[in-house]
Amino acid sequence: MPARIVVLGGGVGGTLAANLLHKELGRNATVTVVDPTGMHVYQSGFLYVALGQANGRWLSRDERTLLYPGVELAIEGAARVHPDRGEVELQRGGSLPYDYLVMATGARLVPEQVPGMAEGAQHFYSLEGALRLREELDRFDGGKVVVGVAGIPYKCPPAPVEFVFMLEEYLRDRGIRGRSEVTLLSPLNRAFTIESASKVVQPIMESRGIGLSTFFNVETVEPAAGVVTSLEGEKAEYDLAVIVPPHRGQSVVEASGLGDPGGWIPTDRTTLQVEGQERIFAMGDATNLPISKSGSTAHFEAPVIASRMASLIRGTAPKEGYEGRVMCFLETGNRRTTVLRFDYEHPPIPPKPSLHWHVAKWLFNRIYWATVPKGRVPDIGTRPKAVPEKKKEG
């Protein structure tokens, strides 16, 4: 009898893992993706939507069109996983039995955890949020803009830095830069958590007149007073506040008792198996791994999960392990982009922001649908130590 594999979540990780498992195991397994909406969203695009550089429709596709024909899709919300009896309980009633399970459930936004956030701040971490922010920016006619984060971990760590750069350019293009201030509120004493990346972006921020408030961990937003307060007791005045909302794991993780206090799934950093669960794997934003929550993380984890699960099913020794590979583009505005490639052992060595990487990112945004979910992407995530430096560009 074929092994029954269920994949919870139809984001980049779940979709790619399901396709690779089907390719690897063929008739030896049935693969079913369970997703509450049946729509696949390319979340990296929210940033461009917020700044009026992309259309919202470009960001979502019918999940069915991204899965191989042999992969089943169930448009259902998962209420609870029962590892003891190998079942996923569905929100609409009924359940789905599994022999092997992939938790690719992602993260959810919990803005309600920050007082004043929902009323007083904007964000670009959902399509609705990005569209709302775009409207706010259309109305914005100069003033103080603060950009910060209200909780760690959050998806796509470079996004707030990219946003300040792209916003600064946007304000210049609109001719209102002169009467605007842009300030990044950072939880550390530098612009970005990774030191080598900070060294690249901070001088650019300085040269573009973008302010930096250090050790500013957002605690509340006070729309009436027009201030954001920090845990450290500081206040930042604003006319427009763009704050990344706190993130948590999905409720199905918590309801199943598989999460840590933040709702993240304790996962083995190499095998990607859920701790104490041989037949359950976790990937992407859903895990507790101390690595970026990013589509590229899920992208690099999917082949490891497919290969290890196939070995388990066949009873052979698993070969591949996840080494913590991540790749993030970091837009610095003015058609310049750098790239962060790293893993557990090698911190990134970001190249000087260039047009070359800007074009690479532009291309990636366009080829995403045809390549990434189906595993047709060329190997773009070369390890940091093996990165050849590109020719010098301005």
Partner 1 sequence: MSQTITTVDARGLSCPLPVVKAAQALKLLGPGETFEVLATDPGSQSDIPAWCRATGTELVEHGEDGGVYRYLLKKKG
Binding-site ranges for partner 1 (CB under 8 A): 152-153, 187-189, 193-195, 214-215, 217, 219, 230-233, 290-291
CB of 186 to partner 1, least distance (A): 9
CB of 52 to partner 1, least distance (A): 31
Longest dimension (CA), the chain: 69
- Between residues 3 and 289, which has the closer beta carbon with respect to partner 1? 289
CB of 196 to partner 1, least distance (A): 11
Q: Pick from 148, 156, 136: which is nearest to 52 by CA?
A: 136
CB of 181 to partner 1, least distance (A): 21
Which residues are CB-neighbours of 379 under 8 A, at least 6 positions away?
Answer: none
CB of 342 to partner 1, least distance (A): 12
- Between residues 198 and 337, which has the closer beta carbon with respect to partner 1? 198
Alpha helix ranges (H) inside the chain: 12-25, 46-50, 117-120, 127-139, 159-173, 195-207, 251-255, 295-314, 355-371
Which residue reads 């596709």 in tokens? 61
- Between residues 153 and 259, which has the closer beta carbon with respect to partner 1? 153
Query: CA of 19: how far to CAs of 12, 15, 285, 376, in Å?
Result: 11, 6, 19, 11
The burial of 114, by beta-carbon neighbours within 10 Å (0-12 exposed, 13-18 middle, 19 or more buried), is given as buried
Can you say how many angstroms the Cα of residue 324 is from the centroid of all Cα atoms in its chain? 15
- Between residues 13 and 187, which has the closer beta carbon with respect to partner 1? 187
Tokens of 212: 């930096």
CB of 288 to partner 1, least distance (A): 8
CB of 37 to partner 1, least distance (A): 31
- Between residues 296 and 354, which has the closer beta carbon with respect to partner 1? 296
CB of 247 to partner 1, least distance (A): 13
CB of 373 to partner 1, least distance (A): 28
Q: Name 337's bridge partners.
A: 331, 354
- Between residues 22 and 293, which has the closer beta carbon with respect to partner 1? 293
| Rounded Cα distance, 291 and 343, in Å | 8
- Between residues 261 and 394, which has the closer beta carbon with respect to partner 1? 261
- Between residues 45 and 187, which has the closer beta carbon with respect to partner 1? 187
Tokens of 272: 């990607």
Query: CA of 95: how far to CAs of 3, 37, 243, in Å?
Result: 17, 18, 38
- Between residues 171 and 194, which has the closer beta carbon with respect to partner 1? 194
Q: What are phi and psi of 17, to 5 degrees?
A: -60, -45
- In DSSP notation, 334-385 reads TTEEEEEEE-SS----PPPPBHHHHHHHHHHHHHHHHHGGGT--------GG
- Between residues 87 and 219, which has the closer beta carbon with respect to partner 1? 219
- In DSSP notation, 209-270 reads T-EEE-S--EEEEETTTTEEEETTS-EEE-SEEEEEPPEEE-HHHHHTT---TTSPBPB-TT
CB of 189 to partner 1, least distance (A): 4
Query: What b/e readout covers 162-172, taking b as 16+ CB neighbours within 10 angstroms?
Result: bbbbbbbbbbe
